[in-house]
Amino acid sequence: MMENIEQRLILRINEHATPLRIMHVCGTHERTISKYAIRDIIPEEVQLLSGPGCPVCVTPVEDIDFAISLARSGKVITSFGDMMRVPGTTGSLFDARADGYDIRMVYSIDDAIKIAKDKPTLEVVFFGIGFETTAPSNAAALLRGVPENFSILTSHKLMPPAMELLTKDTNVDGFLAPGHVSTIIGTHPYDPISEKGFPIVVTGFEVLDVLLGITMVQDQIESGRSCVENAYPRCVNVEGNLKAREMLYQVFKENDSNWRGIGMIENSGLALKKEFEQFDAVNVHADIYDKIPHEKRPSDIHNDENGLYEGCICAEILTARAEPSQCPLFGRRCSPENPVGPCMVSLEGTCYNWYKYTRNKGI
Ligand code: SF4
């Protein structure tokens, strides 16, 4: 009987199977892997690890607390939907909205700008989160011009510095690099990581893409190579999207950034440049920002004053030191309906996907 391409790739992965730890750093990869049970159809020794690829999961508590403090002081907070459900120190943005504060869900920065234009007497803050994929649209909006009563709480993250850190902190053998992010940054930024001995394959989001990415990492390991390869050429090229990056760096500069559950990573975030500081919520509302306690250590995630995170092991989940089923709260006290930690909130969260597609594992 004729085998299809997926079956041939699975056979090939089996034939070449050696103990291997391949990390992806993209919530959409986790979704494909969990939804189609890819871990169950490849040999056990080929482990697929889930890294910090979910934007709302890595947004630090201090930024959520700042957004809530802004709302409590009368500002209008605008945010993507899944960010609104992530717990901060005293609850989520949704909880604050239930308390009567003006917090609105938007689908893009343009929705937030429209609110500011329509209501010039209000101070509107857009909670800007996400990786290299979402930051360019925020940069484009600022370059087009925004009203004076509008500002951005910038919480963007850059993926290559986090991958670099993970090569030091975890015993990962290679990476499936994120297809979405790579459409913007291209394949070059991964070169320094592969040059240190870590095979990297830029991978798309279909089952076939993921299986192909795995075989390409296996090939590199087997032949003693480590380079950056592109298994997603229909969307990603070497240079990436030059126009998007040009806009990005017209508006933003790289800065050290705090990743929830991981801690500070050098040059892994984006801050607004001086020319745009009048739209920087941290600058505009410095009096409120300065009162926010800043999360400094990964262990802080367990030490919330009101016990919100007691028992949550998101810090270990985000760095692939543990799997969701090892969390004592998984599927019990913590579920998508009642998330205790950030990894259970978003469609891109590892705990969310394990709960939705593999929830019987370990509980
Ligand atoms: S299951 Fe919930 S409490 Fe446990 S690590 Fe995941 S998000 Fe945190």
Q: Last residue of a domain, which of 277, 298, 319?
A: 298
Kindly state the average pLDDT of the residues 22-33: 96
End-to-end CA distance of the chain: 39
How far does residue 239's CA lie from ligand 1's centre (Å)?
37
Kindly state the average pLDDT of the residues 165-192: 94
Among 69-78, 90-99, 310-319, the range scoring the smallest mean pLDDT is 310-319
Does ligand 1 have an atom closer than 6 angstroms to the CB of 341?
Answer: yes
How far does residue 71's CA lie from ligand 1's centre (Å)?
27
Which of these, 347, 286, 249, lies nearest to 27 by C-alpha position?
347
Does ligand 1 have an atom closer than 6 angstroms to the CB of 314?
Answer: yes
Question: Which pLDDT score, from 0 to 100, does residue 296 have?
Answer: 42
- Are 75 and 138 within one domain? yes
- Are 61 and 123 within one domain? yes
Q: Which atom of ligand 1 is nearest to the CA of 330?
A: 1
CB 133: neighbour CB atoms within 10 A?
21
Q: Which ranges in the chain belong to alpha helices (H)?
A: 5-15, 27-35, 38-41, 55-58, 61-72, 93-98, 109-118, 135-144, 159-169, 179-185, 191-194, 207-222, 242-251, 281-284, 286-289, 314-318, 350-358
Does ligand 1 have an atom closer than 6 angstroms to the CB of 327?
Answer: yes
**Which CATH number belongs to the domain containing residue 21 in this structure?**
3.40.50.11750
Q: Which atom of ligand 1 is nearest to the CA of 345?
A: 7
Does ligand 1 have an atom closer than 6 angstroms to the CB of 343?
Answer: yes
Average per-residue pLDDT in the chain?
A: 92
Domain of 173 in residue numbering reads as 5-51+159-230
In a domain, 206, yes or no: yes
Task: Check if the beta carbon of residue 232 is closer than 8 Å to that of residue 182.
Answer: yes
- Are 150 and 87 within one domain? yes
How far does residue 344's CA lie from ligand 1's centre (Å)?
6
Does ligand 1 have an atom closer than 6 angstroms to the CB of 312?
Answer: yes
Does ligand 1 have an atom closer than 6 angstroms to the CB of 176?
Answer: no
- Are 153 and 248 within one domain? yes
- Are 129 and 256 within one domain? yes
The H or E element containing residue 45 is none
Looking at the 3D structure of the chain, how many domains does it have? 3
| Pairing between β-strand 174-178 and β-strand 150-156 as defined by DSSP bridges | unpaired
Higher pLDDT, 360 or 272: 272
What is the pLDDT confidence band of residue 362, given thresholds at 50, 70 and 90? low
Asked if residue 353 has pLDDT above 50, the reply is yes
- Are 29 and 121 within one domain? no
In a domain, 236, yes or no: no
What is the pLDDT confidence band of residue 302, given thresholds at 50, 70 and 90? very low
Among 160-174, 205-219, 348-362, the range scoring the smallest mean pLDDT is 348-362
Asked if residue 306 has pLDDT above 50, the reply is no
How far does residue 40's CA lie from ligand 1's centre (Å)?
22
HSE of 76 in the Cβ direction (CA atoms, 13 Å)? Answer: 20
Question: Which pLDDT score, from 0 to 100, does residue 171 have?
Answer: 85
- Adjacency order of strands within the sheet including 174-178: 46-50, 20-24, 174-178, 200-203, 228-230
What pTM does this model have? 0.91
Question: Which pLDDT score, from 0 to 100, does residue 290 have?
Answer: 87
Tens digit of each residue's pLDDT (9 = 90 or more) over 100-151: 999 999 999 999 999 999 999 999 999 999 999 999 999 999 999 999 999 9
- Are 40 and 62 within one domain? no
Q: Which ranges in 102-190 belong to alpha helices (H)?
A: 109-118, 135-144, 159-169, 179-185
Tens digit of each residue's pLDDT (9 = 90 or more) over 194-246: 999 999 999 999 999 999 999 999 999 999 999 999 999 999 999 999 999 99
Could you tell me what percent of the chain has a pLDDT over 90?
85
Identify the residue whose tokens are 């009987």.
1
Atom 6 of ligand 1, residue of closest alpha carbon: 351
- Are 176 and 101 within one domain? no
- Are 271 and 321 within one domain? no
Identify the residue whose tokens are 């298994």.
231
- Are 263 and 165 within one domain? no
**Which CATH number belongs to the domain containing residue 96 in this structure?**
3.40.50.11740
Between CA 250 and CA 272 the distance in angstroms is 9
Question: Which pLDDT score, from 0 to 100, does residue 55 have?
Answer: 94
Between CA 363 and CA 361 the distance in angstroms is 6
Quick one: tokens of 29? 């990869």
How far does residue 144's CA lie from ligand 1's centre (Å)?
40
- Are 280 and 307 within one domain? no
Does ligand 1 have an atom closer than 6 angstroms to the CB of 334?
Answer: yes
Question: Which pLDDT score, from 0 to 100, does residue 90 have?
Answer: 83
Tens digit of each residue's pLDDT (9 = 90 or more) over 145-159: 999 999 999 999 999
Residue type at position 3: E
